[in-house]
Structure 1
Amino acid sequence: MNTVKVYSGNEIMAASVKNKLEEAGISIVVRDNIQSATLAGFGSLGQVVNIYVNEEDAEKAKTIIAAD
């Protein structure tokens, strides 16, 4: 199964996007570089939370995200 990145942004907005996609029944994968950098002892700046969905759910996810 291939995944597609549908969102990249800060933690607060990523949490909102995550909730909306899960409410729509879309399975997601969150890659949180903020947490990864913190655990590794490094700092992290910028938009570092990425949300991925299965390829077949990408268009639906993008529509949900764009509706905000």
Structure 2
Amino acid sequence: MGMVKVYAGSEILALNVQAKLEEAGISTIVKDNIESATLSGFGSFGQTVQVFVNEEDVAKATGIIGT
């Protein structure tokens, strides 16, 4: 059972997506490249916060977030 990225974008929107998915009972993992880059001493651009769900939850998750 692997993890699949269902969203990538700004931190605020990613946290909103995470909250909606967890309300629906879907476990999530958020990967924050902004924080990782800051801690490493590097900058970061683009869609830097990603939300992942389990493979079996992808269809339900994409229905909730509309992608």
Q: TM-score, normalised by structure 2?
A: 0.94
1:21-60 equivalent positions in 2, closer than 5 A: 21-60=21-60
CA distance in structure 2 between the aligned counterparts of 1:22 and 1:35, rounded to whole angstroms: 22
Measured after TM superposition, the shift of residue 30 of structure 1 is 0.8
Runs of 5+ consecutive residues of structure 1 not aligned to the other structure: none
Paired residues, number: 67
Q: Give the C-alpha shift of residue 44 in structure 1.
A: 0.8
Q: Aligned-residue CA RMSD in angstroms? A: 1.1
Match of 1:7 in 2: 7
Identity over aligned pairs, percent: 63
Alignment partner, residue 17 of structure 2:
17
SS at match of 2:58: helix
4+ residue stretches of structure 1 with deviation over 4 A?
none
- Structure 2 unaligned residues grouped into runs of 5+: none
